């Protein structure tokens, strides 16, 4: 970990992936505490903490990440065709702020490559596929439909990501009319899967009150099985200390915790707790994981905190979360979901 931090951020990421692929990262003693086990969409999650999208864009190391103790792993974002992403540098560590800024721009090897990786896996463990659109594609709906058709049979759940700030125009798909068209447009692809798979929508933290209400209303009246809240933010809180704070891109890590948790709580309220939510953004401790659950998350994800704390964090959060649930008299994750709304 300390050695990796001496490398530029994207190099360090490539080295990490290479170590994981080579099996050189020791497996953790996975926390297997029944209080953490949770069932969603007919899937049995051993614990609620997943790996967020963007770490394993091509589906090369989902099993290595599950062995580190994650309850599930999300690959992607995968676009139909391979694409290089934005010019480097495009990934920045804001060490003083325990934050990351990225403007990767969906660099990935495309659906065929990811499909081959998923097909080569031995069954077991929950792996989701996060789908994007190609930068120069004129038909976003066709791109997402292609992703659903290609990776749907190979993944345990699917995510439509319309909230990356690094693909021009993508976030506009979150507006009422385009979102309705998108959700209706991919319904056929989803219905065409031989086995039914849950389809989730991943949203930005930077939405207006109106956007949030529209998304909730559409989600409740659609084949969507849940929401992921949230992606990175284009806001730059005044509290940021790092000289890199002015870099263009999406900000993640500690400064995203409060705003993403506020949007999570709001989406829980707007959907009346009827739609499972995955809480993501700035989780770096068991207390923060627990706060997301109480705000309305049924499942959790993280990415940026791994950069600063290393893989031991996964077990630490899971052990701490189990202790917090017991302290407050909850017998399961499910009992604690949305608890803050019932006080």
Which chain residues interact with ligand FMN by CB under 6 A? 52-54, 57, 76-77, 91, 100, 102, 104, 106, 130, 161, 164, 202, 231-232, 252-253, 256, 280-283, 302-305
Least gap, CB of 304 to ligand FMN (angstroms): 3
Separation between Cα atoms, residue 9 and residue 102, nearest integer Å: 10
- Residue number, 145 or 264, with CB nearest to ligand FMN: 264
Q: Which is nearer to ligand FMN, 64 or 263 (CB)?
A: 263
Residue with Cβ nearer ligand FMN (292 or 330): 292
**Residue 337 Cα distances to 207, 214, 325, angstroms:** 23, 23, 11
Q: Catalytic site residue 164?
A: yes
Beta carbons within 10 angstroms of residue 221's beta carbon: 10
Please, what is the minimum distance in Å from the beta carbon of residue 258 to ligand FMN? 11
* CB nearer ligand FMN, residue 197 or residue 330: 197
Partner residues linked to 102 by β-bridges: 91, 250
**Residue closest to ligand FMN (Cβ):** 54
CB 205 within 8 A of CB 281: yes
Phi/psi class of residue 105: alpha, beta or left (left: φ > 0; alpha: ψ in -120 to 50)?
A: left
Q: Give least dist CB 281 to ligand FMN, A.
A: 4
Q: In the complex, what is the shortest distance from the CB of residue 194 to ligand FMN, in angstroms, rounded to a whole number?
A: 26
- We find the least distance from the C-beta atom of residue 69 to ligand FMN, in angstroms, to be 16
List 164, 222, 230, 252, catalytic entry = 164
Nearer to ligand FMN, 261 or 271 (CB): 261
> What's the closest the beta carbon of residue 111 comes to ligand FMN, in angstroms?
14
79 vs 271, which CB is nearer to ligand FMN? 79
**Cα 101 to Cα 253: distance, rounded to the nearest angstrom:** 9
Active site residues: 164
């Amino acid at each position: 970990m300390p050695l990796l931090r001496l490398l530029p951020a994207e190099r360090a990421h490539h080295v990490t992936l290479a170590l994981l692929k080579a099996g050189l990262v020791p497996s953790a003693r996975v926390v297997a505490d029944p209080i953490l086990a949770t069932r969603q969409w007919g899937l049995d999650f051993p614990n609620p903490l997943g790996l967020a999208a963007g770490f394993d864009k091509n589906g090369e190391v989902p099993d290595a990440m599950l062995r580190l103790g994650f309850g599930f792993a999300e690959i992607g974002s995968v676009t139909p065709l391979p694409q290089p992403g934005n010019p480097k540098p495009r990934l920045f560590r804001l060490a003083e702020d325990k934050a990351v800024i990225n403007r990767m721009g969906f660099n990935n090897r495309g659906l065929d490559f990811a499909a081959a990786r998923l097909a080569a896996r031995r069954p077991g463990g929950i792996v989701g596929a996060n789908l994007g659109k190609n930068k120069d594609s004129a038909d976003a709906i066709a791109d997402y439909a292609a992703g659903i058709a290609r990776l749907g049979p190979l993944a345990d759940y699917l995510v439509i990501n319309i909230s990356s700030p690094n693909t021009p125009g993508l976030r506009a798909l979150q507006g009422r009319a385009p979102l309705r068209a998108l959700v209706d447009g991919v319904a056929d692809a989803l219905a065409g899967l031989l086995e039914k798979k849950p389809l989730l929508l991943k949203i930005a933290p930077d939405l207006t009150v109106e956007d949030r209400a529209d998304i909730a209303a559409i989600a409740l009246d659609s084949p969507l099985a849940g929401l992921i809240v949230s992606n990175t933010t284009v806001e730059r809180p005044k509290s940021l200390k790092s000289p890199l704070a002015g870099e263009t891109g999406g900000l993640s890590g500690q400064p995203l915790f409060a705003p993403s948790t506020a949007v999570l709580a709001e989406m829980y309220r707007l959907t009346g707790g009827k739609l499972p939510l995955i809480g993501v953004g700035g989780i770096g401790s068991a207390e923060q994981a627990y706060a997301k659950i109480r705000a309305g998350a049924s499942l959790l994800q993280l990415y940026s905190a791994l950069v600063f704390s290393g893989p031991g964090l996964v077990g630490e959060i899971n052990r701490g979360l189990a202790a917090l649930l017991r302290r407050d008299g909850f017998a399961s994750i499910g009992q604690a979901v949305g608890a803050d709304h019932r006080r």
